[in-house]
């Protein structure tokens, strides 16, 4: 029996990597040419053309389209303030990607486009992919130095006129912890980030922490968190001022498959729902949630009131909030999602 199962698994991998017709006939799992992309990146030291050095961290500045952007090396970040399209007094969002991700991935492109459509922000994308590739443990030890380098760069921007009142840091997975380290350093230097958002903050290696203190409510004036894969790739405990738990905050999120091959593109569906929900909220998606003690109370209607998950979340919110979502876009159900 083991040999039969192993042969089927091997055939599934081969069918994607070699397009073997024989194996494809046996394949029953949903796989695509992108299924093993994340696994391949684990065995790559850096993206092509990048160096595993702090000096090669970059900040991308997006203007009116995903393609219309400039990048600045982290130590020269203040140069972006000289761009005539950059409005210093306008709210600025800084998005930080996760493990083995690059700026051109669907997550980055979707979020950038959402903010471009919104039109209310300077859009900065922290590209630390040069230190986010390779084995997971090694990348864990990069979080603190990367976060410190980023924090120092943002401090230079603030001292040159960037408006801290409109600063919003958003991090997905490991990126949430990078953003937290940066915000922590800034706070120690007298600049407290007004809002820090975690999109399914990474769980492995942070709870309990191996090397870096994970994101927490002390890192900014308002820390809001969206949980979608709690206990697996994402954190399973309340870690912010306001923690949102769509569909109980764990797998399986509506529309995600109940069974997938580990670490394949499809396997990250629940984890990636967090940035999909966030992007939709930036575009005006109405995610109404209820403050409850737990998901069972939510299902029974034993809750205290409503709040909005996503960009519209109010900074005075405190506690745990639950809601339901649709299985496909648009995910927001409005008031129906809170009952």
Do 93 and 187 sit in the same domain of this protein? Answer: yes
pLDDT-derived band of residue 34, with 50, 70 and 90 as boundaries? Answer: confident
Residue 203 φ then ψ, to 5°: -95, -55
Task: Respond yes or no: is residue 32 known to be catalytic.
Answer: no
Task: Respond yes or no: is residue 274 known to be catalytic.
Answer: no
Angle between helix axes 106-118 and 269-282 (nearest 10 degrees) is: 10
Do 198 and 285 sit in the same domain of this protein? Answer: yes
Do 2 and 108 sit in the same domain of this protein? Answer: no
Do 213 and 120 sit in the same domain of this protein? Answer: yes
Annotated catalytic residue within 56, 200, 219, 243: 200
CA torsion 324-108-198-47 (nearest 10°) is 130
Do 101 and 148 sit in the same domain of this protein? Answer: yes
Domain presence at residue 17: yes
Annotated catalytic residue within 15, 173, 274, 281: 173
Do 25 and 69 sit in the same domain of this protein? Answer: no
Q: What is the pLDDT of residue 162?
A: 95
- In the chain, how many domains are there? 2
What number is the average pLDDT over the span 211-220? 97
Assign 122 to helix, strand or coil.
Answer: strand
pLDDT for 16 beyond 90: no
CA proximity to 277, closest of 332, 324, 338: 332
Q: What is the pLDDT of residue 293?
A: 96
Residue 221 φ then ψ, to 5°: -60, -40
What number is the average pLDDT over the span 23-36? 62
Do 23 and 53 sit in the same domain of this protein? Answer: no
Across the chain, mean pLDDT equals: 91
Do 49 and 115 sit in the same domain of this protein? Answer: yes
pLDDT tens digit sequence for 175-194: 999 999 999 999 999 999 99
Residues 27, 136: Cα–Cα separation, whole Å: 29
CB within 8 A of 80, min separation 6: which ones?
A: 59, 61, 70, 72, 86, 124, 157
Do 103 and 25 sit in the same domain of this protein? Answer: no
**CATH number of 179's domain:** 3.40.50.1820
Q: What is the pLDDT of residue 7?
A: 35
pLDDT tens digit sequence for 53-69: 999 999 999 999 999 99
What percent of the chain shows pLDDT beyond 90?
A: 86
Domain presence at residue 190: yes
Domain presence at residue 199: yes
pLDDT tens digit sequence for 240-265: 999 999 999 999 999 999 888 888 87
Domain presence at residue 278: yes
Q: What is the pLDDT of residue 10?
A: 37
Domain ranges, residue 3: 1-31
Domain presence at residue 36: no
Give me the sheet containing 69-73, strands edge to edge.
69-73, 58-62, 122-127, 92-96, 167-172, 195-199, 222-226, 242-246, 319-323, 287-291, 306-309
Residues 255, 331: Cα–Cα separation, whole Å: 10
Assign 309 to helix, strand or coil.
Answer: strand
Task: Respond yes or no: is residue 271 known to be catalytic.
Answer: yes
pLDDT-derived band of residue 322, with 50, 70 and 90 as boundaries? Answer: very high
What percent of the chain shows pLDDT beyond 70?
A: 91
Do 321 and 243 sit in the same domain of this protein? Answer: yes
pLDDT for 27 beyond 90: no
Domain presence at residue 217: yes
pLDDT for 138 beyond 60: yes
Q: What is the pLDDT of residue 113?
A: 97
CA angle 57, 150, 236 (to 5 degrees): 105
pLDDT for 204 beyond 80: yes
């Amino acid at each position: 029996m083991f040999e039969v199962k192993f042969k089927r698994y091997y055939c599934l991998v081969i069918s994607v990597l070699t397009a073997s017709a024989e194996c494809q006939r046996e394949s029953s799992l949903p796989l695509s040419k992108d299924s093993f992309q994340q696994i391949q990146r684990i065995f790559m030291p850096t993206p092509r053309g990048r160096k595993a050095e702090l000096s090669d961290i970059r900040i991308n500045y997006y203007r009116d389209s995903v393609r219309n952007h400039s990048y600045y090396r982290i130590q020269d970040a203040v140069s972006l303030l000289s761009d005539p399209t950059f409005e210093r007094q306008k709210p600025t969002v800084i998005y930080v990607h996760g493990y083995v991700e690059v700026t051109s991935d669907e997550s980055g492109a979707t979020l950038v486009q959402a903010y471009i459509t919104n039109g209310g922000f300077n859009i900065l994308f922290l590209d630390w992919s040069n230190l986010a590739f390779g084995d997971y443990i090694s990348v864990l030890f990069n979080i603190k130095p990367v976060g410190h380098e980023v924090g120092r760069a943002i401090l230079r921007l603030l001292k040159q006129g960037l408006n801290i009142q409109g600063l919003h840091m958003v991090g997905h997975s490991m990126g949430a912890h990078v953003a937290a380290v940066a915000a922590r350093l800034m706070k120690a230097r007298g600049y407290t980030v007004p809002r820090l958002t975690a999109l399914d903050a990474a769980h492995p290696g942070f709870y309990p922490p191996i090397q870096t203190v994970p994101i927490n409510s002390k890192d900014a004036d308002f820390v809001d968190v969206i949980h979608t894969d709690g206990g697996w790739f994402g954190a399973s405990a309340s870690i912010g001022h306001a923690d949102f738990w769509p569909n109980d905050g764990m797998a399986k999120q509506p529309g995600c498959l109940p069974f997938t091959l580990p670490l394949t593109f499809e396997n990250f569906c629940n984890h990636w729902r967090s940035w999909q929900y966030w992007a939709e909220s930036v575009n005006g998606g109405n995610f109404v949630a209820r403050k409850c003690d737990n998901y069972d109370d939510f299902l029974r209607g034993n809750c205290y009131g409503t709040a909005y998950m996503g960009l519209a979340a109010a900074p005075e919110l405190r506690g745990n909030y639950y809601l339901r979502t649709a299985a496909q876009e648009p995910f927001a159900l409005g008031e129906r999602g809170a009952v």
